[in-house]
Amino acid sequence: MENKKEFRSWLDAHKLEHPIVIAGPCSAETEEQVLKIAHQLKDTDVTYLRAGIWKPRTRPGNFEGVGAIGLKWLQKAKAETGLLTATEVANRAHVELALEHDIDLLWIGARSTVSPFIVQEIADALEGTDKVVLVKNPVNPDLALWIGAVERFHTANIKNLGVIHRGFSTYDKSKYRNNPEWQIAVDFQTRYPDIPLICDPSHITGKRDMILEVSQTALDLNFDGLMIETHYDPDNAWSDAAQQVTPDSLIQIFKDLRIRKEQDDEVGYQSKLGVLRAQIDIIDNSIIETLGKRMKTADAIGELKKERNVAVLQSKRWNEILGKMILAGEEQGLSEEFILRVFKAVHQESIVHQEKVINN
């Protein structure tokens, strides 16, 4: 993707001194609800009023959105408050209706991003539009799939393009609804620094009391904005009640967030930073060397198992290692979640090494 700087223009156009904020209910429920929330948000840092009109649900029978009538409610909210409007689209018909009702920002949901067919259909319907189009990451942690979706919209000459990081599904134990996998978002940001990156802490956490923490992490990682689900009566919301905050809570989150500078050119800071980064480089090299030694030991274990015709996987031994490492990690201030992820990766690589030895 060339000329990526053009995509940041829609952010620059707002001339904001703070990250862009997209907020509003998970689902538009009634006209009264949409208008009430819009008026509660109009004098805050919110720029876009979001509301789900069509709600793709995992299982049938759950509330799946009010449909096109909700677009009229968003139009009315915009007329009364001046807030720009945003909603999710999942097919060509949604796009056509959203454009007909002059919705300002359209986002592509995580379930849609996984399908190149759906993405292409939506991209074709939006070709050449000056509306803001944001692409959420796919539900599974696949950077290539996310990039592929963005490329389809770029090819369709979408002038104002960005992405939303909403976390990834996982079978592993986690305190999050959708594991953030921050490194994937950072990798995207590194490859395409001029494509605006928005964080959706509501879907990452699934819990309103974690919104501030995840929002701060996103800003610390230089994200361009936040999408936060907001409802005046979240406990009785028709969808995703647990992750929505009240407008008052959202205002408090704005007050509590710390907006950090992207860089500091002061000589003393740069000198100290250089020393610390040099220390990190030395430690990282040591980690790689240690992992290399571990895999050589795994090769030796593989030779011994091959000689004695013993299976590679030893579940009892693995569980013992995991238990000890979790306790050791706690003593070093490392979370159980982190230790599990690291040692599962190390264990998998050890299995690969042993299998190569046994099968050769």
**pLDDT tier at 134 (50, 70, 90 boundaries)?**
very high
Residue that terminates a domain, selected from 256, 275, 310:
256
Three-class SS of residue 161?
A: strand
Domain count, the chain: 2
Quickly list DSSP for 187-218: HHHHH-TTS-EEE-HHHHHSSGGGHHHHHHHH
Distance CA 192, CA 190 (A): 6
Which residue has 């915009």 as its token pair?
78
Per-residue pLDDT tens for 289-339? 999 999 999 999 999 999 989 988 888 888 899 899 999 999 999 999 899
Residue 194 falls within a domain, yes or no? yes
The pLDDT tens digits for 243-265 are: 999 999 999 999 999 887 767 77
CA neighbor of 127 nearest in space, from 99, 148, 86: 99
**In the chain, what are the helix, strand and coil shares in percent, each to the nearest 5?**
55, 10, 35
Q: What is the DSSP letter of 239?
A: S
Asked if 179 and 304 sit in the same domain, the reply is no
Domain that holds residue 193: 4-256
pLDDT of 3 strictly over 50: no
Tell me the mean pLDDT in the region 129-151: 96
Over residues 197-238, the pLDDT tens digits come to 999 999 999 999 999 999 999 998 889 999 999 999 999 999
Is 96 inside any structural domain?
yes
Hey, what are 288's tokens? 């790689």
pLDDT for the residue numbered 160? 94
Q: CB under 8 Å to 25, separation ≥6 — which residues?
A: 33, 34, 37, 50, 51, 52, 229, 230, 231, 237, 244
Kindly state whether residue 261 falls inside one of the protein's structural domains: no
pLDDT at 199: 97
CA distance 85 to 70: 12
Q: How far apart are CA 360 and CA 351, in angstroms?
A: 14
Picking from 206, 236, 256, the residue at the C-terminal end of a domain is 256
Q: Identify the CATH number of the domain in which residue 297 sits.
A: 1.20.59.10
Asked if residue 302 and residue 278 are part of one domain, the reply reads yes
Residue 262 belongs to a domain: no
| Sequence-distant (≥ 6) Cβ neighbours of residue 106 within 8 angstroms | 86, 87, 88, 89, 95, 98, 126, 131, 132, 133, 134
Q: Are residues 248 and 309 in the same domain?
A: no
The whole-model pTM stands at 0.79
31-73 pLDDT, tens digit per residue, is 999 999 999 999 999 999 999 999 876 677 778 789 999 999 9
Query: Looking at the structure, do residues 180 and 76 belong to the same domain, yes or no?
Result: yes
- Last-in-domain residue among 199, 232, 256: 256
Please provide residue 226's backbone torsions phi and psi, each rounded to the nearest 5 degrees.
-135, 145
Give the C-alpha separation, 40 to 148, whole Å. Answer: 38
> Which residues, other chains included, contact 357 with Cβ-Cβ below 8 Å and sequence gap of 6+?
299, 302, 303, 306
136/15 same-domain check: yes
Q: What is the pLDDT of residue 290?
A: 94
Q: Looking at the structure, do residues 234 and 281 belong to the same domain, yes or no?
A: no
